[in-house]
Amino acid sequence: MAAVKSLQPRLISSFLGDRSIRSTQPLTHLFRFDLGGRRHVSMQLSRTFSGLTDLLFNRRNEDEVIDGKRKRLRPGNVSPRRPVPDHIIKPPYVDSLKAPGISSGLEVHDKKGIECMRASGKLAARVREYAGTLVKPGVTTDEIDEAVHNMIIENGAYPSPLGYGDFPKSVCTSVNECICHGIPDSRPLEDGDIINIDVTVYLNGYHGDTSATFFCGNVDEKAKKLVEVTKESLDRAISICGPGVEYKKIGKIIHDLADKHKYGVVRQFVGHGVGSVFHADPVVLHFRNNEAGRMVLNQTFTIEPMLTIGSRNPVMWDDNWTVVTEDASLSAQFEHTILITKDGAEILTNC
């Protein structure tokens, strides 16, 4: 899940190109980065533009075929929230119905904290890979959520997305044109789909955050290349990390590779510090930028690039979470939690 620190909180919507429409709705759970001279907590508000939602999902378009192959993604039915046993330690934000947003200050750890981060990262990675084995035509994302939920609590951890603001599920499942924060539902996966599964676990007071994009059945070469390049962009970004390295170098190396393959880089959703809190400083931008800041020994944060074949502009569904590309072009994402070490970076969310 992407978040960003703000000095001047405001909510905006950017559905209509350069026209920004402000809203006073008390929604604080989905953040974007605004490159104006300051940072803003802001979001895409589809409910402000019900006409656009109607255009995307009315009866005329419900069977629209994209690229002559797949249908435009549509919401399914969302099952009730799954229970968590009382003995499982929960993050402070659970049941508050308010997402805490970004916490100021870096997540820098002592020896004990590092070991806790390694444990939560390892579990998140195991859950991610297990979830990937479930990706098959006919399986619903709700079934994946159920399996993820059960595996996390069986390991004594809490599924961090569940109850983050009003997010109703234990994992994010983003299919095809869904950029991020897809809510698991009754839609069966189809042959040729790609799906990002975003797992975060809260274990012994620390969050481990990771995601990967998986193939469902026979995926065409265009989709395979997008997924492979997105994974490569993450790997390249991690390879340059280390104490004293500027965060902005992450954005440059990702953007350079995306440009080489003529892919879009989603700008509205960012990597973030992670540890004892879900979202903390720094804001990690995946595109070229001139933001200040350098990496610090023993800090942890995520890198989570989102690349698109077509438009990089996001549209949010009326659930106030699911974000899709405005032209229904494919999007892929990969994410790791990393620890800055004296020798570079340790990937905490590898199996």
Cα torsion through 16, 22, 23, 28, rounded to 10: 90
Can you spell out the DSSP letters for 97-131?
A: SS---PEEEE-B--HHHHHHHHHHHHHHHHHHHHH
Contact between 327 and 310 (Cβ < 8 Å): yes
335 annotated to bind ligand: yes
CA–CA distance, 328 with 315 (Å, rounded to integer): 10
204 Ramachandran zone, left/alpha/beta (phi>0; psi -120 to 50) = left
Antiparallel, parallel or unpaired: β 103-106 and 280-284? parallel
Place of tokens 């570079």: 344
CA–CA distance, 109 with 105 (Å, rounded to integer): 12
304 annotated to bind ligand: yes
Q: Where are the beta strands (DSSP E) in the chain?
A: 12-16, 19-22, 65-66, 70-71, 103-106, 158-159, 172-175, 178-180, 194-203, 206-215, 264-265, 271-273, 280-284, 300-303, 306-308, 314-316, 323-325, 331-333, 336-341, 344-347
181 annotated to bind ligand: yes
Give 79: exposed, middle or buried? Use CB within 10 Å, 0-12, 13-18, 19+: middle
272 annotated to bind ligand: yes
198 annotated to bind ligand: yes
Binding residues for substrate: 181, 279
Binding residues: 181, 198, 209, 272, 279, 304, 335
Binding residues for a divalent metal cation: 198, 209, 272, 304, 335
